[in-house]
Homo-oligomer: A and B are copies of this chain.
Amino acid sequence: MDSRELRYFVAVAEELNFGRAATRLGIAQPPLSRTIQQLERRMGVTLFERTSRQVSLTTAGEVLLHEGRRALTALTAAERRTQRAGTRLVLTMKPHSDGGLLEKILTEYAASPSAVEVDVHICGIGEQGKLLREGEADAALLRFPHDDTEGFAYEELLTEPDAAVLPRTHRLADRESLTMADLAGEQLPHWPGNPPNGGPLVRDSGQLQQLIALGRTIALLPASTRHHLGPELAQVPVTDAPTSTLAIAWAEDSRSRPLAAFIQAAVQCAPR
């Protein structure tokens, strides 16, 4: 199968309308119709159920949409990683989620003989996987069990307990330590991708800090984020808080020399 045909197919499958799909692809509708017909003929499978009024996916079409999307992203990922191969490494992470290791890792890596420039790409919550899959990034710092890691290889770097982050004026802010029970009535934020819990939806950490400062929510964050809190916020240890593990992840089948060296540097910097 040709990737052009697949791209056309995905466009039609997403729009469920040949005209709109053609516009999106920047071509006219008739060649698009013909290309899809030809794809169906070559594969020996009908992909769309079409009447003159509406288009819908067949079972086979659904399968091709899922798997085909993955194949196309693999293709563009290959292209992107090739283009920066040997000159640049892109590390992606959520803000303040490096467990305090980032600087040390970068220094350690810079000393390696196969070191190249490292771009640190600060991303939104839950975006690391997408960036890795699409080849925008070579490696990602992420956290178990919060971040999804399906399909990546990874090395664990450090495990630390969560701690409560509160407005300085909060009734619990001056306590030496807390337990989860102390936080029972508090409003926790709603993380994207998780089921709504009544709390405010949080997209990035700046937003979160602001919401905490305003008293709208409190959060349980890895203890190491204390280095990044503003003066209006306080962090209090929670003795029985869950732990999370910081890990460095990469696309399984991308293991260039600079990337391998970077991972090695990261692992070396991790406390044992």
Please encode chain A, from 130 to 156, with 1 for each CB lying within 8 Å of some chain B CB and 0 for all others: 000001000000000000001101000
**A contact residues vs B (CB 8 Å cutoff):** 1-4, 6, 43-45, 47, 58-64, 66-71, 74-79, 81-83, 85-86, 135, 150-151, 153, 251-257
A to B CB contacts below 8 Å, 18 in the list: A1-B78, A2-B2, A43-B79, A43-B82, A59-B256, A63-B85, A63-B254, A66-B254, A66-B255, A67-B77, A67-B135, A67-B253, A67-B254, A70-B74, A71-B75, A75-B75, A150-B252, A151-B252
Check A3 against B75 for contact (C-beta < 8 Å). yes
Check A66 against B1 for contact (C-beta < 8 Å). no
A74-B76 CB under 8 A given contacts A63-B256, A83-B43: no
Check A85 against B45 for contact (C-beta < 8 Å). yes
Check B77 against A71 for contact (C-beta < 8 Å). yes
CB proximity of A213 to chain B, nearest CB, Å: 40
Residue of A85, A86, A257 contacting most chain B CB atoms (<10 Å): A85
CB proximity of A65 to chain B, nearest CB, Å: 9
CB proximity of A151 to chain B, nearest CB, Å: 6
A1-B3 CB under 8 A given contacts A66-B254, A67-B74: yes
CB proximity of A164 to chain B, nearest CB, Å: 35
A67-B43 CB under 8 A given contacts A153-B150, A252-B150: no
Residues of B contacting A255 in the complex (Cβ-Cβ under 8 angstroms): 66
Residues of B contacting A256 in the complex (Cβ-Cβ under 8 angstroms): 59, 62-63
